[in-house]
Amino acid sequence: MAVSNISTLGISLQQRSIVLRAQSQIGKVTTEIGTGVKADVARALGSRMGEDVDLRNLMNQYDNYKNSIQIMASRTSIMAEALTKFEDYAVEAFNAIATTANGADSGIIDSIQNAARSALERIMGALNVSSGDRFLFSGVDIEKQPLFTPGQKNPVTGRTPIETIQELIGTPPTDAASAMAAADRIRLAFDGDPSIPAELHFEGTIYNGTPALDAAGNPNPRVRGKTDAETTVEYGIQANDGPFRDILRGLYMIASVDVAAMPKEARDVYVTEAFNSLSKGIQDLRDVHTALGTQQADLDTAMERNELRMRLLNERVVALETVDPYDAQARLTVLQQQLQASLNLTARLATLNISQYMT
């Protein structure tokens, strides 16, 4: 029976199309076998594609949390190191003042002013530490250096911290009453008491970061970061926190006046007040250390929890997007057989001559 020219040509063209399609499909399956991932995830998942997108969005969120945790861990590590240095410098000065407060000779009395100034200079290096483009003890005003150094002019008040304390002291104390009055004025200034002019307050003259309270008297927000959707870590230690104020107050009291020139009665009261402030600050600083250590431990736990969640999410994504290697190999074998059959048929059709097409 003669073959119709239309049907023969149509079959030939159809087989060529089948060959091209099979070759394309073989290429996709070969890629799937090589990568382990579906060549067309959306087509393969169909109605479950939304689930895949949601999972990947969650993974991106947790990756952002991971970066946030790492940043907070780095900053708290730097802060912990700075606190250790701060405490060491404060303790050295404390020991020098303690010796004097217990009635040491005049030679030691002469030396404690220099010891206090030296401690202050070193303390500024610890608390004015920065990470990247942000100061770590300034509160949310991260661009501001938290503390003016003892001899640094405050551009707003025009005074150095030493000059501020000296103005609060006024005439150097000559007896116990005037010594206590001077110590009280300094304490009130460090506490921000309204009885002391604002330009002599600790905040704004010595401390330059975020104030403890806003204009309405409410606590200002602290530096914080998120470890996941539900958890916020507040790790914003500030150089105006109580322990730092007490330590700085004790040191500035000694550094700003020649205590050796005071009469013994005045000196004993004044130095004891400075000593007590410094002692209280050092004791309370341990609570700051402990709280920061707890936050660091919480960040470590948050990182472990975050990594576990990311692993679980990744496993679900992998289950959706990866191919079964046995199934892929089976599909490849079928496609190769179909391709070979189509090639064989195409080859036979190609042997027909023009007269056969015309019969």
pLDDT score at 315:
85
Which one has a higher pLDDT value, 153 or 39?
153
Q: What is the mean pLDDT of the chain?
A: 83
Q: Which residues contact 60 (CB under 8 A, 6 or more apart)?
A: none
Residue 253 has pLDDT above 80, yes or no: yes
Average pLDDT (305-313) is 92
Residue 117 has pLDDT above 70, yes or no: yes
CB atoms within 10 A of CB 118: 16
* Whether the Cβ atoms of residue 295 and residue 231 lie closer than 8 Å to each other: no
| pLDDT tens-place string over residues 312-353 | 988 887 776 565 565 645 555 665 666 566 566 666 656 655
Q: How far apart are alpha carbons 309 and 42 in whole angstroms?
A: 24
Least confident interval from 197-201, 234-238, 246-250, 338-342: 338-342
| pLDDT tens-place string over residues 61-70 | 999 999 999 9
Residue 269 has pLDDT above 70, yes or no: yes
pLDDT score at 18:
63
Average pLDDT (20-39) is 55
Residue 103 has pLDDT above 60, yes or no: no
Residue 225 has pLDDT above 80, yes or no: yes
Question: Which of the four pLDDT bands, split at 50, 70 and 90, describes residue 32?
Answer: low
Average pLDDT (18-22) is 60
pLDDT score at 357:
46
Question: Which of the four pLDDT bands, split at 50, 70 and 90, describes residue 220?
Answer: very high
* Whether the Cβ atoms of residue 272 and residue 238 lie closer than 8 Å to each other: no
Residue 87 has pLDDT above 90, yes or no: yes
* Whether the Cβ atoms of residue 255 and residue 249 lie closer than 8 Å to each other: no
| pLDDT tens-place string over residues 165-209 | 999 999 999 999 999 999 999 999 999 999 999 999 999 899 999
Express as a percent the part of the chain with pLDDT over 90.
60
Residue 125 burial class via C-beta count within 10 angstroms: exposed 0-12, middle 13-18, buried 19 and up: middle
Q: Which residues pair with 131 in a beta bridge?
A: 134
Residue of 60, 130, 108, 45 whose CA lies nearest to 306: 60
2, 14, 345 from 6: Cα distances, Å: 12, 12, 17
Residue 12 has pLDDT above 50, yes or no: yes
* Whether the Cβ atoms of residue 31 and residue 21 lie closer than 8 Å to each other: no
Question: Which of the four pLDDT bands, split at 50, 70 and 90, describes residue 359?
Answer: very low
Question: Which of the four pLDDT bands, split at 50, 70 and 90, describes residue 112?
Answer: confident
pLDDT score at 347:
64
Question: Which of the four pLDDT bands, split at 50, 70 and 90, describes residue 156?
Answer: very high
Average pLDDT (230-245) is 93
Residue 304 has pLDDT above 80, yes or no: yes
Residue 326 burial class via C-beta count within 10 angstroms: exposed 0-12, middle 13-18, buried 19 and up: exposed
Q: How far apart are alpha carbons 232 and 43 in whole angstroms?
A: 40
* Whether the Cβ atoms of residue 311 and residue 55 lie closer than 8 Å to each other: no
The DSSP result for 328-346, as a single string, is HHHHHHHHHHHHHHHHHHH
Q: What is the pTM of this model?
A: 0.78
pLDDT score at 195:
96
pLDDT score at 88:
93
